Chains A and B, each alone.
Chain A
Amino acid sequence: MNLLSLYVDRSRLEIRALLRDKRSITFSMFLPIFLLLIFGSVFGHQEIGQSGVKFSQYFVAGMLASGLLYSAFQQLAIMIPEERSNGTLKRLVGSPMPKSVYFVGKFACSLFIYVFQAIFLLGIGHLAFGITMPRSVNLWFVFVWVSFLGLVVSTLLGVAFSTLAKDGRAASALATPVVLFFQFTSGVYLIYTQLPRWMQTIAALFPLKWMAQAMRGVFLPAAFAANEAGGSYEFTKAAIVLGIWTVVGALLCAFTFRWLPKDAD
């Protein structure tokens, strides 16, 4: 049994199960697309200040960053407690499966959801609201690394967060407000620079603010950078912050992840 083929097999199985789960499809795959349709229809044509940038363009960048949270953090923070309480993890850890297979499967599933969201957000955004695509190959490259690094961070934090709840229902109540809080404070639903300073300061400690800002750097005109908090899209700083959170997330996972429910060992 070659490890790579186990990764592929597990990933396919996870995606197949995902596509049969109506709740995951609604909440993880289609939610950002619904949100774009609603926010785009209501506020889409409003211009942000005198910048010449429409809110729908700003919002798509924020939704792509949010998509990184929906597809990995929120999905895993809810799914893993459910799998811990329904016996999935217990069965797997009692089998000779190499443990990494489970996490690779989860990451692949999150990647699948994110790619699906990105294609629909950009496609529908372009057709319905005239969203413009990145202006250069360089910016597409930034889009890819921000997406990848963001998804890694989001996956690790989702796995770490999964330890807090005892089942899927409790997890939903814990993870959903966290995602909403960061969306409101990180420049997804509201313009970041118009938020109170303390809110900006808190958000700047966490990954979503940097993912959203980097996504704006990819999808908004270069001139709009003057409107950002730092007067620039700060790609390097975003990479450093996401890098730090990758290490923090990996350490949290390594020290807190449990295969069995609490008190079952």
Chain B
Amino acid sequence: MENVVDVKGLTRRYGDFCAVDGLDLVVTQGECLAVLGPNGAGKTTTIEILEGYRYRDAGDVHVLGMDPATADRRWRARLGIVLQSASDLGDLTVRESIQHFARFYSHPRGTSEVLDITGLADKSDARNSSLSGGQRRRLDVALGIVGRPELLFLDEPTTGFDPEARQVFWQLIHRLKSEGTTIVLTTHYLEEADALADRVVVIARGRKVADTTPALLGRRTSDDVRVSWWEGNERHDELTRTPTALIASLAQRLGGEIPHLEVSRPTLEQAYLELLDGGGRT
């Protein structure tokens, strides 16, 4: 089957700065891909080239079988876009906004269905300008999915969310995934990639430094385990490959219970930082 997104050698420069540097990217049907990377890594530039907003200096780009740079309205109708930040439509209500955007598509979802999926039914008659950050993002998603897109782009959808709003938002994305929507998501939160994505692409300085599953991304680090404890009124830390032996010897030395014992595997976060470190070296 043809890939939903197929990118080869994508390059974009801003003056002397190379924001995207020969990037290859593939997204298959029904997949949720997280594009992960620090600020300035080239995530938004990449996504906005795929959405047809920005031009590119080089590379082959196919999204839903077409080149976004020359695509038409019929192509746009198959796409859902949730931009990084938007504060438009403030004087309209949630319902008015959804109804208005529905009219641009030939087979839109019903307004009540969209309100239900995005959990905005209670807010349907509220002015958009009165919505909280999380509700506002859900409105952006509502407008992104009202046309039943085959492919949905989400650009840093949960930046600035509190943990509860993030959980609610993730459930929404899970629901869209289960309906078969192909999703491309950029984020700089690892736990978001972990919670939502089937596959993770890590970008640093415009280059791909990893293309793997969230689970494998975590396992890429060394086998060292961190053991920490209190001894003589200060905290001790040790990295070891044999934690059990270390704890046994500590127990012996400290005479039984080890104060404030903690044993931790390197987190996804550490794996990620290690990757970025590697990607930064030129």
Q: Which residues of A contact B (CB under 8 A)?
A: 1, 5-6, 9-10, 13, 16-17, 20-21, 83, 86-88, 90-91, 93-98, 260, 263-265
Partner of B92, one of A13, A94, A95: A13
A256 to B143, CA, bound (A): 29
B281 at the interface (CB under 8 A from A): no
From B54, B85, B100, B143, name the one whose CB has the most chain A CB atoms within 10 angstroms.
B100
Q: Point out the residues of chain A lying under 8 angstroms from B90, CB to CB.
A: 86
Whether B86 lies near A91 (C-beta < 8 A) is: yes
Nearest-CB residue, chain A, relative to B75: A96
Whether A87 lies near B86 (C-beta < 8 A) is: yes
B161 at the interface (CB under 8 A from A): no
Whether A94 lies near B76 (C-beta < 8 A) is: yes
Known: A90-B83, A91-B83, A91-B143. A96 touches B91 (CB 8 A): no
Whether B91 lies near A21 (C-beta < 8 A) is: yes
11 cross-chain CB contacts under 8 A? A5-B103, A20-B91, A20-B92, A86-B86, A86-B88, A87-B86, A87-B87, A87-B88, A91-B143, A94-B53, A95-B147
Q: Point out the residues of chain B lying under 8 angstroms from A90, CB to CB.
A: 53, 83, 86
B215-233 vs A, CB cutoff 8 Å, 1 = contact: the mask equals 0000000000000000000
Q: In the assembled complex, how far is the CB of residue A11 from the closest CB belonging to chain B, in whole angstroms?
A: 11
Q: In the assembled complex, how far is the CB of residue A14 from the closest CB belonging to chain B, in whole angstroms?
A: 10
B253 at the interface (CB under 8 A from A): no
Partner of B88, one of A1, A83, A98: A83
Q: Which residues of B contact A (CB under 8 A)?
A: 14, 51-55, 73-74, 76-77, 79, 81, 83, 85-92, 96, 100-101, 103-106, 127, 143, 147
Whether B52 lies near A16 (C-beta < 8 A) is: no
Q: In the assembled complex, how far is the CB of residue B48 from the closest CB belonging to chain A, in whole angstroms?
A: 8
Q: In the assembled complex, how far is the CB of residue A15 from the closest CB belonging to chain B, in whole angstroms?
A: 11
Known: A13-B96, A265-B54, A265-B55. A96 touches B104 (CB 8 A): yes
Whether A88 lies near B92 (C-beta < 8 A) is: no
Whether B104 lies near A94 (C-beta < 8 A) is: no
Given contacts A10-B100, A16-B92, A17-B91, 7 further A-B contacts (CB under 8 A): A20-B92, A90-B83, A94-B81, A95-B81, A95-B147, A96-B74, A96-B77
A94 to B101, CA, bound (A): 11
* Chain A to chain B: the 6 pairs with minimum beta-carbon distance, closest first: A87-B86, A88-B88, A96-B77, A17-B91, A20-B91, A96-B76
Partner of B104, one of A16, A17, A97, A260: A97
Q: Point out the residues of chain B lying under 8 angstroms from A20, CB to CB.
A: 91-92, 127
A172 to B98, CA, bound (A): 30
Q: Point out the residues of chain A lying under 8 angstroms from B106, CB to CB.
A: 1
Q: Point out the residues of chain B lying under 8 angstroms from A17, CB to CB.
A: 89, 91-92
Nearest-CB residue, chain A, relative to B108: A1
Whether A265 lies near B53 (C-beta < 8 A) is: yes
Partner of A96, one of B51, B55, B73, B88: B73
Whether A260 lies near B53 (C-beta < 8 A) is: yes
Whether B85 lies near A87 (C-beta < 8 A) is: yes
Q: Point out the residues of chain B lying under 8 angstroms from A97, CB to CB.
A: 73, 104
Nearest-CB residue, chain A, relative to B79: A94
A83 to B90, CA, bound (A): 11
Q: Point out the residues of chain A lying under 8 angstroms from B101, CB to CB.
A: 95
Whether A86 lies near B87 (C-beta < 8 A) is: yes
A147 to B96, CA, bound (A): 31
Known: A91-B143, A96-B76, A264-B53. A6 touches B104 (CB 8 A): yes
A90 to B147, CA, bound (A): 17
From B51, B79, B103, B127, name the one whose CB has the most chain A CB atoms within 10 angstroms.
B103
Whether B51 lies near A94 (C-beta < 8 A) is: yes
Nearest-CB residue, chain B, relative to A12: B100
Q: Point out the residues of chain A lying under 8 angstroms from B89, CB to CB.
A: 17, 88
Q: Point out the residues of chain B lying under 8 angstroms from A88, CB to CB.
A: 88-89
Q: In the assembled complex, how far is the CB of residue A243 from the closest CB belonging to chain B, in whole angstroms?
A: 32
From B77, B83, B89, B127, name the one whose CB has the most chain A CB atoms within 10 angstroms.
B89
A88 to B211, CA, bound (A): 34
Nearest-CB residue, chain B, relative to A88: B88
Q: In the assembled complex, how far is the CB of residue B152 from the closest CB belonging to chain A, in whole angstroms?
A: 12
From A9, A87, A95, name the one whose CB has the most chain B CB atoms within 10 angstroms.
A95
Q: Point out the residues of chain A lying under 8 angstroms from B53, CB to CB.
A: 90, 93-94, 260, 264-265
Whether A96 lies near B147 (C-beta < 8 A) is: yes
A203 to B77, CA, bound (A): 47
Whether B147 lies near A264 (C-beta < 8 A) is: no
Nearest-CB residue, chain B, relative to A85: B87
Whether B103 lies near A91 (C-beta < 8 A) is: no
Known: A90-B86, A264-B53. A9 touches B103 (CB 8 A): yes
A97 to B79, CA, bound (A): 13
Q: Point out the residues of chain A lying under 8 angstroms from B76, CB to CB.
A: 94-96
A96 to B96, CA, bound (A): 18
